[in-house]
Amino acid sequence: MNEIPLTLAISRYDHVEDLTSGRIMPEGVRLTCLSLPIEEIFFRFLKHREWDVSELSFAKYASLISQGDTSLTAIPVFLIHLPLAFETNGCQGTSWRDAFITWGVLLVAAPFQRYLIGTLLIDTRGSTLAAGLMHASINAAGAMVIVPGGWQVVPALILLTLGVLGYRSWRGRSAIDGYAPAITPASEAAQRTALGVMPQPRSPRL
């Protein structure tokens, strides 16, 4: 059987280790995996489309779609979150009721989380560090079981999103439109500095 050659660029994660290490081989595909820093993956793929399948920020993908760029096809990798419903008590110890409650919390929280991360990515002109820190802080807050089920993160995200919307309206900014420029990886930034091409200072936007 002829195998389809595909190249995948993704950071190192435990849940894809078996695939990227070659322990699991997808049928019908001759897969080449590239493990690179996340900033470099985003920059090289968005700038040059160097591989077939790429990890990519959802906020950046949504930004491209809003600008009429439909050259990329998104894969619903968010489905990987569904097994989290069975993380604590396993499949045998988790009722379907509890599983659906967990999935409901994820479904409600996700749009607000993505909106907050997206607006931060835009307002910081493409800082994946800032977006990553926010993502990590939201995950950490969700892991703090203040109430049974840990759903306290949902009203917190809603209130925070309403606050961001109010602030953006007060500052005269659009609630839905924005642009995050392509990201320059640290390696290229260092090379430009070594060549004497210093980055232009940016005035902060409050």
Report yes or no: 52 and 29 within 8 Å, Cβ to Cβ: no
Contact 46, 60 (CB under 8 A): yes
Q: Are 52 and 8 in contact (CB under 8 A)?
A: yes
* pLDDT exceeds 60 at position 119: yes
Q: What is the DSSP string of 114-173?
A: HHHHHHHHHHTTS-HHHHHHHHHHHHHHHHS-SSTTSTTHHHHHHHHHHHHHHHHHHTT-
| pTM assigned to the model | 0.52
Predicted confidence (pLDDT) per residue in 168-203, tens digit = 888 888 777 766 664 444 444 444 433 334 344 444
Cα gap 85→103, rounded to integer Å:
7
pLDDT tens sequence across 20-39: 888 888 889 999 999 888 87
Give the amino acid at 172: G
Task: State how far the Cα of 147 lies from the Cα of 145, in Å rounded to an integer.
Answer: 5
